Amino acid sequence: MAPYHPVDFPVLAVDMFSGSLVAIVTPMLANGAIDRAAWLRLLDFHLDNGTAGIVVGGTTGESATLLEGELRELTTSALEHVAGRMKVIAGAGTSSTAETVARVRWLSALGVDGLLIVTPAYVKPTQDGLIRHYTAAAEASSVPILLYNVPGRTAVDLLPPTVARLATVPNIVGLKEAVGEIERVRDLQRLAPGLAVLSGDDATCREAVLAGAKGVISVTANVAPREMAAMIEAALAGDATRAARIDTRLEALHENLFLEANPIPVKWVLEQMGLIGPGIRLPLTPLSSRFHTRVRSAMERAGLTG
């Protein structure tokens, strides 16, 4: 695969977000403190291996345990370090609309390329509540907004007709869709043709891109960024055969990185690869020993060493 080269921002905001983006982990020391050296190492790893962008402070980045100051530091250091060579998106969603709006304002001011806003977890708003929540966030933002639908974690589903209404709101340019149903991708393309749909499900992202999605925000890309970038590149080009050939090596990772709650398995793999230490914050715990063999087998199938 050719090395990654930065490109100028396209005219249309929706075209800013495509390819293989990574929901990047937050590296931590054994005591749970942010590992700043490992953070820069991960950023370089993605710059060197074709990742189109990173999402800082998302679910995979243990957003629920990050303090505001930590999210600010991680985002600022990422912006300074990558210096425009790949997109930097920050996770801004909370279960409170007022808190989300406040976070949107200060994250926007940092100069990020976009903000990823997950549906409010636990409170289970109505579809009208979701429209009002996202509209308030978009009105507070000076950068593009990506919606994020992951009902398996939040217990609320952002339905395609609702997405279509939100696609008319200024600043809302894309959606990370973690419902791994290709028919939903087609529905979204039909109902909101100007919206950039990004898969949030590694196991089905190849099919999603072949069905019209712009790319993926991936967990697997944490450990196999070059392969994910190559696979998505092939799918975007309509080369289904090449995309499938690459994806076959990654299938076991797609499955086994979710044997326990994300990001438990992916942080273990990154530790085996020597990229980060063992740190993870409660209530998450290190990968159970009974899964080590299965996850290591998936690593070997993907050609990862550690």
Would you name the residues annotated as active-site residues? 148, 176
What 3-state class would DSSP assign to 121? coil
CA-to-CA distance for 200 and 256, rounded, in angstroms? 16
Structure tokens at 142: 């000076």
CA-to-CA distance for 59 and 233, rounded, in angstroms? 25
Phi, psi of 21, rounded to the nearest 5 degrees: -105, 155
Structure tokens at 141: 């933002």
Residue 75 CB neighbour total at 10 angstroms: 22
CA-to-CA distance for 52 and 285, rounded, in angstroms? 30
> 5 to each of 47, 58, 145, 235, how far by Cα in Å?
9, 25, 24, 19
**Is the N-terminal amide bond of 263 cis, ω within 30° of 0?**
yes
CA-to-CA distance for 246 and 227, rounded, in angstroms? 7
CA-to-CA distance for 197 and 297, rounded, in angstroms? 32
